[in-house]
């Protein structure tokens, strides 16, 4: 791979800066042979007015990374603050001053790996410029014929690379059928989540989202939305199982995730949601609040962001 096409100069490998082109994982490692690995995806937002970059909820993502490692038994780093500093150092080394998507990935890189090897692990981090993931035009969503994987088989609570086969199948099916995104149901037929996002609906005036026991990744954006809705909008949230047909009769639906941000759903299985085009009132409010929160513009949620270059405040 040539560095000429690299989006950034450096990646981080076990805490050390390396050239983008020098990232390596052996084809016979446990990660490559058996899909063993966990990761995090986070965002940072550039504020033009302040000339500052804000990294969003990095420690919470690092905590989830360590939780994932614990569940699937991968040895490796244990210090959230050290991992956080490493990631921020990488951003500074690349002198990135735009909206970013960042990743921390932990692989098991044992030679001629066995499926139950737990180490040695290797940690890679990346920070790459990224704008809107979906664009801001809203999503036409298909309910997938694939079921969401379950805690009894492949725990969705773990952000494991292997889990993404499930979402990939749903997304490929949705694209083949002319949709932009997919939502998956649990084996019991309840609404779980999408390929890379959690879901909320507004129905009969109530904001609702599935509980963390309904085969979902416990999204950090989901938690941010819940807190923003409660504290900034004074809403109560119904965290409860959701049936498929409730989506068809919802007033508003949105998906959310670090990459997806807060993105409204225009239709489900071709059934229009709201006016079938624009975000509903609560969705639009939450979209606005989220965009403020990630840039450190909400005083009550200022501790969610870290100013990367230390020029703000």
Ligand X SMILES: Cc1ncc(COP(=O)(O)O)c(C=O)c1O
| Catalytic residue ranges | 159
- With residues binned 3-state (H G I as helix, E B as strand, rest as coil), the percentages for the chain, rounded to 5, are 30, 30, 40
Which residues within the stretch 238-277 sit at the binding site for ligand X (CB under 6 A)?
257-258
**Nearest alpha carbon to residue 102 among 111, 114, 110, 92:** 92
Whichever of 127 and 217 has its CB closer to ligand X, that residue is 217
Q: Does 160 bind ligand X (CB under 6 A)?
A: no
Which residues within the stretch 18-57 sit at the binding site for ligand X (CB under 6 A)?
41
Q: Does 180 bind ligand X (CB under 6 A)?
A: no
Q: Does 197 bind ligand X (CB under 6 A)?
A: yes
Q: Cα-flanking dihedrals φ and ψ of residue 51, to 5°?
A: 60, 40
Least gap, CB of 21 to ligand X (angstroms) = 26
Q: Does 220 bind ligand X (CB under 6 A)?
A: yes
d(CA 167, CA 173): 10
Helix (H) or strand (E) holding 83: helix 80-93
Which one of residues 217, 229, 286, 306 is an interface residue with ligand X (CB under 6 A)? 217
Cβ atoms of 201 and 268 closer than 8 Å = no
Which one of residues 94, 122, 198, 287 is an interface residue with ligand X (CB under 6 A)? 198
**Nearest alpha carbon to residue 232 among 279, 175, 299, 304:** 299
Q: Does 290 bind ligand X (CB under 6 A)?
A: no
Taking CB under 6 A as the binding criterion, the range among 17-25, 132-140, 194-202, 226-234 that sits at the site for ligand X is 194-202
Cβ atoms of 209 and 200 closer than 8 Å = yes
Q: Does 215 bind ligand X (CB under 6 A)?
A: no
Residues that bind ligand X (CB under 6 A): 41, 167, 193, 196-198, 217, 219-222, 257-258
């Amino acid at each position: 791979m040539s560095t000429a096409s690299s989006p950034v100069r450096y990646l981080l490998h076990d805490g050390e800066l390396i050239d983008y082109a020098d990232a390596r994982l052996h084809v016979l490692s446990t990660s490559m042979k058996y899909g063993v690995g966990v990761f995090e995806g986070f965002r940072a937002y550039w504020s033009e007015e302040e000339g500052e970059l804000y990294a969003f909820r990095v420690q919470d993502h690092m905590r989830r990374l360590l939780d994932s490692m614990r569940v699937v038994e991968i040895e490796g780093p244990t210090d959230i603050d050290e991992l956080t500093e490493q990631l921020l150092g990488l951003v500074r080394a690349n002198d990135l001053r735009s909206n970013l998507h960042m990743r921390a990935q932990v692989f098991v890189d044992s030679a001629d790996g066995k499926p139950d090897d737990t180490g040695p692990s290797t940690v890679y981090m990346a920070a790459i410029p990224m704008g809107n993931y979906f664009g801001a035009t809203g999503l036409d969503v298909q309910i997938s014929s694939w079921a969401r994987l379950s805690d009894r088989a492949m725990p969705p609570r773990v952000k494991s690379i292997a889990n993404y086969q499930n979402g990939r199948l749903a997304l490929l099916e949705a694209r083949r059928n002319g949709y932009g995104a997919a939502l998956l149901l649990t084996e019991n037929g309840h609404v779980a989540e999408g390929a890379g996002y959690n879901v909320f609906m507004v129905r009969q005036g109530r904001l609702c989202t599935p509980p963390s026991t309904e085969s979902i990744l416990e999204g950090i954006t989901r938690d941010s939305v819940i807190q923003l809705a409660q504290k900034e909008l004074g809403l109560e949230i119904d965290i409860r199982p959701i049936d498929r047909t409730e989506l068809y009769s919802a007033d508003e639906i949105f998906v959310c995730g670090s990459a997806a941000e807060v993105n409204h759903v225009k239709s489900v299985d071709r059934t229009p949601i709201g006016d079938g085009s624009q975000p509903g009132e609560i969705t639009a409010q939450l979209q606005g609040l989220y965009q403020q929160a990630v840039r450190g513009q909400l005083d009550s949620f200022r501790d969610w962001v870290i100013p990367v270059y230390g020029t703000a405040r």
